[in-house]
Every structure is written in structure tokens, then in C-alpha cells.
Structure 1
Amino acid sequence: MKKAFVLVVLFIFPLVAYLFFASGVNNFGKLPVLTENIPNVSQIDNAVNLNDKITILGFMGGEIEQKKGNAFNLNQKIYKRFKDFKDFQIVMVVLDGTEDKVKSLKDELGTLSNVEKWNFAYGNEAEVKTFFHGLKTNLSLDENLSTPYVFIVDKNRNLRGRNDDEDEEIKYGFNTTSVAELNNKMEDDVKIILAEYRLALKKNNANRSK
């Protein structure tokens, strides 16, 4: 009986573990595309661009001061962890006329980390509404054209998210009010999309070396 147990531990368990993790790679190796080819934020503000970047996209509208807590959560839980990846950025869409408030926010964030990859796109009400509508999500902006939710956009301007989320089924965005959601869901999803691009880069480099 003892020998049988030892055999199971030594040989069967590792095999089961391998199959489990191999299955996980196949099932969770890519983050689903929920909306293809969203508009480029450069249509609103040509100083900011989504092309060829892995972007965390948010909408602060005219509520810069009211959304400071959300920005700090995002900075601490997501930005600081991934800011050193070359093509990673955060883009916040804000209303024209909020430049001073944005500067104040960046100054405060800058006391905690280097904020060079925090970008702000300025637009008028109509432009912000049109751009947000182009994401084609099940979420909406409030009366100040802001939302606590942020979105993951890949280098081809595809909105990525979850199509089998245990709580929402289809998950377009991540609530920056919830530290738990940033820790338990968004961080994992950003890791997945970065791993996708690392794998693609390795394949391209391997093909070139042949």
C-alpha cells in the first residue's frame, strides 16, 4: 500500500499537474478581443496615440479631482507594476479646460512613481462621447463624462477583456474603485496580454535567425 502511494506521488501527480497547467496555457493564453479596431484617441488629441502600444484607457472627463483616488489605485496596483515594459502606457481622456487639474494630479502621482507613461487626451464633450461610443461596451459615462472603469487596448487598437467572467460574463472594463478587482483580475489580464507579445516577439526573432 505504501509503495503504491509513493508511486502515485512520484509519477501520477506530476503528470496530472502538467496536464492541468498545459491546459491552462491553451485556455488562458490569450485575452479575448471584445471590440475590434476601436477609434484612435489621436482623433481627439493628436499628441496621444494608441497605435503600437499596450494601453490602459480611462475616462476622467471633467472630474479630475473627484477621480484622484481611482488614479492612485490604478497607479499603485497596475502602472507601477508594468510601467517598465517598453510599449506600455496609460491614457486618460479628459475634457478641455482641465489642464491645471491634470498637472496637479500628475505632480501628486509623480511623488510615488515616474509618470512619463501617464498620458492625457483632451477633447470637447461631443468628441469624448463619440470616442467612448466607439468602444462598444456595456458601460456608460456619467454626466461629467467620466467612469471608474478602465479598459485594456492592444497594439492593434482592439479592446481586450473577458468573455467568461465569473461575475459579469462579459467584462469590458475594470473598476478602479475596487483594489481587489485590480489585484485579482486586471493584473492577471495585463500579464496575459504582455505574455502574448513577448511570445510573438520570441517567435519572430527565432524565425529571423533561421
Structure 2
Amino acid sequence: MKKTFVLVVLFVMPIVVYLFFASGVTNFGKLAIVTKNVPDISLLDAGQTFKEKITVLGFLGNDVGQKKGNAFNLNQKIYKRFYEFKDFQFVMVMPHGTESEVEKLKAELGELADVKKWKFVHSDEQNIRTLFSGLESNITLDENLGTPYVFIIDKDNNLRGRSDDEDEGLKYGFNTTSVAELNNKMEDDVKIILAEYRLALKKNTSDRKK
């Protein structure tokens, strides 16, 4: 009996553990598409696009000072960890009239990280609401055209999120007021989508070599 037990521990258990983690990779290898065909940011600025980019999209609203803490949380917990990845960008949608406050915010953020991947797009209320409604989420803009939530848009203009989040069920965005949510959920999801595209790139490269 002792020999059998030892054999199980030495040979069977490692296989079971491997299969467990292998199934986990399969199940969690991609973020869910929660909204297809989100309107492109070029609707607001012809020089910008979501296409072929992995985008963190935010709406800071008219009161930049009110959302400054959210921007700093996002900068420290997400941006600084991932901005060096190719085709990764942050796009913050801003109402006209906030340009000077945005420049101050960029200067402050720039003291902590290279802000080259932070992009601020200014537009009027109608266009901002049109873009936001295209997310088809359960989140709303406040009276200042802002929200503490940010969204992950993939290279095909799809909104990515979670279809079975343990707290919300269908999760469209990430609350930047909560450092815990950024650390425990958004960071993981950004890692997943970056890995997804890296794996796809490797596969395409491998296929071309055959």
C-alpha cells in the first residue's frame, strides 16, 4: 500500500496538476468580447484610431481635477507596467475647454512615467455621448461627461471584458477609483489580451515559415 501511495504521489499527482493548469490556460486564454464594433475614436479625431491598437479608453469629463486621482491610479497601476508594449495606448476622451487642465495633468503624470502613450482627444458633447453609447455598457456618464471606469478596446474595435466576473457577472469596465480592482482584475485582463495577441503573432509567424 505504501509503495502504491508513493507511486501515486510521484507520478499521478504531477499529471493531475498539469492538466488542471492546462485547462485553466484554455478557459482563461482570452477576454470575452462584450460589445462588437465599437465606434472608432476617429469619429472624434481623424488622426487617432483604435484599429490595430490595444486601447485603454477613458472619459475624464469637464472636471479634470475631480478625476485626477483616477488618472494617477491608472498611471501607476496599469500604464507604467504595460506602456512599453507595442501597439498599446491610453485614450482619454475630453470635452472642449479642458485643454489647459489636460496639459497640467500630463505634466504631473510625466513626472512619474513617460506619457507618450497617453493620448487626450477633445470633442463636443454629442460626439462624446455617441462614442460612449457605442460601448453598449451598463455604465453611465455623469453630468460632467466623465466616469471613473475605463474600458479595454481590442485591435478590431471590440470592447473586451468579463462574461462571468465573480462580483458583477458581465463586466464592461474597470473602476479606477479602486486600486484593488486595478491590481486584482484589470492588470490580469491586460496581461491576458497582450498574451493573446503575442500568441497569435507567433502562430502567424510560424505558419508563414512552413
Please give the range of the TM-score, normalised by the shorter of the 2 chains.
over 0.9
Q: Counterpart of 2:175 in structure 1: which amino acid?
A: N
Task: Return the offset for 1:52.
Answer: 0.7
- Structure-2 residue corresponding to 1:30: 30
SS at match of 1:20: helix
- Structure-2 residue corresponding to 1:173: 173
Question: How far apart, in 1, do the equivalents of 2:6 and 2:112 lie?
Answer: 51
Task: Return the offset for 1:47.
Answer: 3.0
**CA-atom RMSD in angstroms:** 0.9
Question: How far apart, in 2, do the equivalents of 1:84 and 1:100 lie?
Answer: 27
- Structure-1 residue corresponding to 2:49: 49
Q: Is the contact made by 1:47 and 1:121 (CA closer than 8 Å) also made in structure 2?
A: no
- Structure-2 residue corresponding to 1:198: 198
Question: How far apart, in 1, do the equivalents of 2:126 and 2:156 lie?
Answer: 25
- Structure-1 residue corresponding to 2:20: 20
- Structure-2 residue corresponding to 1:71: 71
Task: Return the offset for 1:65.
Answer: 1.1
- Structure-2 residue corresponding to 1:208: 208
Q: Which 5+ residue runs of structure 1 have no aligned equivalent?
A: none
Q: Which 5+ residue runs of structure 2 have no aligned equivalent?
A: none
Question: How far apart, in 1, do the equivalents of 2:61 and 2:195 lie?
Answer: 31
Question: How far apart, in 2, do the equivalents of 1:168 and 1:100 lie?
Answer: 37
- Number of aligned residue pairs: give it: 210
SS at match of 1:161: strand
- Structure-1 residue corresponding to 2:157: 157
Question: How far apart, in 2, do the equivalents of 1:48 and 1:70 lie?
Answer: 23
Deviations 1:28-85 (A, max 9, x none): 1111101011001111122321111000000012121111110011011111111110
Decide which moves more: 61-70 or 170-179: 61-70
SS at match of 1:9: helix
- Asked if 1:108 corresponds to 2:119, the answer is no
